[in-house]
Amino acid sequence: MKIALITLSDKGAQLARRLASELPDTTVYLHKSAAPMAGAETFEKIVELTREIFTAYDGLVYLAPCGVVVRALDGNLAHKTKDPAVVVVDVGGRHAVSLLGGHEAGANALAVSVANALGAEPVISTTTEAVKTLIVGVGCRRGVNADEITTAVKQALAQVGASADDVRVLASADIKSREEGLLRAARLLGIPVRFITSDEIRNSARQFTHSELVEQKVNLPAVAEPAALLAGSRTKLVLPKTIYGRVTVAVAKESCMWSE
């Protein structure tokens, strides 16, 4: 995706710099009142900028308040099949909100990618995604190929009577964020993958099975179980960590408000 990163402030610029280093093909647009940033384009009014660049990018990531972004988008929307993906991130880097074009434009996947880059929480409200309640935690040895991972995930889901269509997100530790086999497996399964920070796993008070081997190898108490539990809300394990060759899988289920 060709992505524009748009921010009004110095704090937003810090996040934009991090995103630009993690996401390919990005252009940073920085308000003229902020401190200069090498390589960034400057602008004066966010409404005028949005109108100028709205159709020039596949995705627009605003590091700004939602209210400001909604007003900037006013008058530019054409159709869900034509509009770009729009993601909004608070300048504290806490949430990445899929605001526009969740499925059609890929904003849901973009929100997860942005969240992974910043260690933020992706916020996705698309109904078809909200009703998916399973999260699959994956741990794997370095260099494991995508076929091994997809096979392991499908076997784990079969054990709980589910399929990939029931999965909202795959999850793993951030140390696996560049594991090509895992990234490709996510693409093959058509499921976004979220990476939980190592500090969040180490500091979690959730109950999960610790592994001395994982601790020795990657300095984490575990990967699959905590990743599955921490990647969602009100989660509980429905399949504890299960080993399939060189891949470890755990499945957690979210409890939605309407199901309680």
Q: What is the CATH number of the domain that holds 166?
A: 3.30.420.180
At 127 the pLDDT is 79
- What is the sign of the dihedral through the CA atoms of 63, 67, 68 and 72? positive
Task: Tell me how many domains the chain contains.
Answer: 2
Same domain, 154 and 224: yes
pLDDT recorded at residue 259? 53
Task: Please tell me the predicted confidence (pLDDT) of residue 257.
Answer: 56
Same domain, 149 and 76: no
Looking at residue 89, its pLDDT comes to: 97
**Which residue, among 125, 108, 251, has the nearest Cα to 191 in the 3D structure?**
108
Residue-range definition of the domain harbouring residue 18? 3-126
Residues (pLDDT < 50) of the chain are 260
Residues 88 and 163 reside in one and the same domain: no
CATH number of the domain residue 74 falls in: 3.40.50.11220
* Of the residues 126, 154, 177, the one at which a domain ends: 126
Residue 230, judged by CB atoms within 10 A of its CB (0-12, 13-18, 19+), counts as buried
Question: What's the pLDDT at 80?
Answer: 86
**Cα 39 off chain centre by:** 26
* Judgement on whether residues 136 and 170 belong to the same structural domain of the protein: yes
Residues 149 and 112 in one domain: no
Distance CA 211, CA 74 (A): 52
Residues 255 and 136 in one domain: yes
Same domain, yes or no, for 211 and 236?
yes
Residues 164 and 252 in one domain: yes
What pLDDT score was predicted for residue 126? 84
